[in-house]
Chain A
């Protein structure tokens, strides 16, 4: 039993996934719910300092560590497995084997990444996430999903290669050590760590490497999008908190993410794409916190990631339930859904308010990051984060629920979401409120001691003030925020256009080189070689034999006749063995002379 106590939860899920194809549909659904629950129980009993390591064929000086337990990895592990449980409960109706196998591998990869104690394990689990998540996008089985999956895997392979190159350089810099601890900005600021950072930022969705997120998540199936929304960006946040605390550039990158996410979320009309941009915005807050790097910021980022997974998954479930029932996701085609889906409406309101409102988990977690920025006197970052809090509340907490459930009734009448979906949404809604009203269990999970009191009258008043005034602004100007049809141009425009131009340039230049090469090698060189092989031997032989015939006293006509006859004979290869031997000896002699001269 003790042997199993520190078994890596990632391996549990990945091995468990292999059994899924052999189970009957009904058992399969129960099994995939039970597996994350088992992983959750396994993580809950893990204690700080526990590890699971082995030597990798003696290639590395340190052991490979598939399990390193500390408070940071444990907090992420708990929310990952808890969310997986809720997601599979939600996906009870979904029986597709490839989806479940891919999802379990993906979640296993995420758990492996947060518990990885070294750079090699980190890379292995990181890449397993990239590959398995692609199948989650493909599981929707539409042309759009195929295109999105292709773009998704391409960008993640680039990110993975950057990560790999960085890891190799860092291992060299660390004298062969594969240890993965915090990189110091002053002393470990080299190409390797920067490449790793770039690889991580791809997964964070930092602009301009961000377009994959709103492109792929909404293209996935209802449950695929839900599962994807929780893990890729949060493992990247975890890796930043672990490896890059206090790296100043992250503050600026995080601010850029927050602004980009919020502006696009306000412009966007597809409910799932709004949530995708909201993810980029919220991850921006966490990236800023990693850049600030003090204890309160790390706590804030961990708490924000924890709570963000809860309320963002709840909102993905809500939009997924609408998509499942109606088959549409553009707000310009939806409206008045509260008449058909009252329970889903309530869950949507809870999820939306959980972004910032008192009494919900966003209030007790995200404000910690803003407070850390304020306390560290990062004026610009603080102001941007405050403004982005206003913006994302406007976009995802007011605009989206309003136009989906309360706006103009478009007469769409469907059934309420299935019972298992309602159960999963109830669980997450309950947790959103629980950690909002009583945040102590959440604070106990955080890496450092917490000295943050969200319900101080001053804090409560200022947050309520901006929430209410944002609400007033929405009430007055909501007509300007009405959803519109059409698709927004994002950074992917550059690589779509760029790849097209690259294709055309490559087409013209490489094909021109190809044609010139063909002309030269096939038209000239190959023809020459062919001619030589066909008649070169005969010509050489004639060249050698002509002086011999002339010395024999033959006149010019006889020499020419002999040459013609000899040429025909040699072209046919019809020489007696003696003559062939004669030429072989001459050739050998020439080679010997060359050899002796060179020596």
Chain B
């Protein structure tokens, strides 16, 4: 049996934090605000990419962060060492060699 819209909303509310819900709300408000800015030509555009217009910076924020999360995750697996490089032991006969 499908849940009613009220129940679905309740489920979403319980599964997301207050901060996340606020962020989603703010995102909607900002995207709507941008429509007004584009209509009023208040936004100055220099490059063809922002000419994409509505939602460019929203996409930059979300997908840019996403890309960096996955990139650094992959690189982190490659570059992380258990032992600090500085902890490499010196040769045992170092004193003799110097002498």
Which residues of A are at the interface with B, using a C-beta cutoff of 8 A?
144, 147-148, 262-263, 266-267, 374-375, 377, 379, 382-383, 386-387, 390-391, 394, 456-458, 461-475, 477, 480-481, 484, 486-490, 492-493, 496, 500, 507
Contact = CB atoms under 8 A, between A and B. Distances in A.
Of the listed residues A147, A267, A463, A480, the one surrounded by the most CB atoms of chain B closer than 10 A to its CB is A267
Given A387-B68, A458-B42, A477-B65, 18 more contacts: A147-B86, A266-B72, A267-B80, A391-B64, A456-B42, A458-B37, A458-B44, A462-B43, A462-B57, A465-B57, A469-B58, A469-B60, A472-B20, A473-B66, A475-B23, A480-B69, A489-B80, A500-B88
Contact of A390 (B26, B64, B73, B80): B64
A267 B79 contact: yes
B47 A377 contact: yes
A346 to B, nearest CB: 16
Contacts of A262: 68
Interface string B53-78: 00111111110111111111101100
Given A263-B68, A374-B46, A477-B66, A465 B31 contact: yes
Contacts of B24: 472
Nearest to A215: B86
A269 B86 CA distance: 17
Task: Enumerate the 7 nearest inter-chain pairs by beta-carbon distance, A residue then B residue, closest first.
Answer: A469-B61, A466-B61, A473-B65, A266-B72, A469-B62, A390-B64, A267-B76
A367 to B, nearest CB: 12
A39 B59 CA distance: 47
B80 A461 contact: no
B5 interface: no
Contacts of A394: 65, 68-69
A456 B26 CA distance: 18
B54 to A, nearest CB: 10
A374 B48 CA distance: 11
Nearest to B33: A461
Interface of B: 17, 19-20, 23-24, 26-27, 30-31, 33-34, 37, 42-44, 46-47, 49, 55-62, 64-73, 75-76, 79-86, 88, 97
Nearest to B67: A387
B42 to A, nearest CB: 5
A477 B69 contact: yes
A267 B78 CA distance: 11
Contacts, number: 143
B80 to A, nearest CB: 4
B68 A475 contact: no
Nearest to A462: B57
A375 B65 contact: no
A377 B34 CA distance: 23
A507 B97 contact: yes
B69 A390 contact: no
Contacts of A383: 49
Nearest to A379: B47
B65 A474 contact: yes
B68 A266 contact: yes
A458 to B, nearest CB: 4
Of the listed residues B44, B67, B85, B88, the one surrounded by the most CB atoms of chain A closer than 10 A to its CB is B85
B26 A468 contact: yes
B46 A468 contact: no
Nearest to B21: A475
Contacts of B56: 462
A382 B37 CA distance: 22
A470 B85 contact: no
A86 B56 CA distance: 40
A487 B20 contact: no
Given A390-B65, A480-B69, A475 B17 contact: yes
Contacts of A471: 23
A390 B71 CA distance: 14
Contacts of A486: 80-82
Of the listed residues A458, A468, A490, the one surrounded by the most CB atoms of chain B closer than 10 A to its CB is A468
Contacts of B66: 473, 477
A481 to B, nearest CB: 6
A486 B84 CA distance: 7
